[in-house]
Amino acid sequence: MSLLPEFEYKRPETLGELLVILEDYKGKAILLAGGTDLIPRLKLGLKQPALVVDIKGLAEDLHSIAPDGKRVKIGSLTTIDEIARSTLIGNNFPGLHKAALSTASEIIQYGGTIGGNLSIIPLSALLFPSMKWAREVWSSVRAGRGLEGTNFRLSMN
């Protein structure tokens, strides 16, 4: 792998600030959360953004696992490790829980976010056996259990 290309870097503190930044850069910015997929793509020259926006610090509803009626709400910045350790997920979605436990290395589990991994599901879930948990989520989404906004929702039926 080579060095990272040159780009501007910003780390907004609020969702409002993020939206202003994205509007200012109109398609020339890329979001960084866990970075387990983005950093290698940057190093390989597959992505060459003008701006990298680090959203790891945004905790406003983007980093959580919480019951929501008969559903569970998982924020897009929630890590695979947090899903693996969640009793709410373990008790209600055993397939997702087991798959998260078996995904990649602990380093990837600690850093990789559900939002980042869901954004690459069509490719990664088909090609990489370690993405079993992503296929479990994608199957639930395709079954009509929802993918809403910056969070995905799975019902506990």
In this structure, what CATH number is given to the domain that contains residue 102? 3.30.465.10
Percentage of residues in the chain having pLDDT higher than 70 = 72
- How much is the pLDDT for 52? 93
**The dihedral formed by the CA atoms of 50, 53, 54 and 56, expressed in degrees to the nearest 10:** -150
Average the pLDDT over 78-104 and give the result.
86
Same domain for 88 and 13, yes or no, is no
| Confidence band, pLDDT 50/70/90 cuts, at residue 94 | confident
96 in a structural domain: yes
The answer to pTM > 0.85 is: no
Average the pLDDT over 128-157 and give the result.
46
Average the pLDDT over 94-117 and give the result.
80
Give long-range contacts, CB 8 A cutoff, 24+ apart: 15-19.
15/58, 15/60, 15/62, 18/53, 18/55, 18/58
* Host H or E run for residue 71: strand 71-75
Eight-class DSSP state of 129: G
Q: Which of 4-13, 53-62, 64-73, 146-155 has the highest mean pLDDT?
A: 4-13
Separation CA 94–CA 45 (nearest Å): 38
- How much is the pLDDT for 39? 84
- Higher local confidence (pLDDT), 80 or 154: 80
Beta bridge partners of 154: 72
Q: Which of 20-24, 32-36, 62-66, 97-101 has the highest mean pLDDT?
A: 20-24
Half-sphere exposure (CA, 13 Å, Cβ side) for 149? 8
Q: Counting Cβ atoms within 10 Å, is residue 94 exposed (0-12), middle (13-18) or buried (19+)?
A: exposed
> Could you tell me the residue range of the domain that residue 31 belongs to?
8-54
1 in a structural domain: no
The number of helices, as runs of H, and strands, as runs of E, in the chain is 9, 7
Average the pLDDT over 109-128 and give the result.
64
Domain count, the chain: 2
- How much is the pLDDT for 123? 47
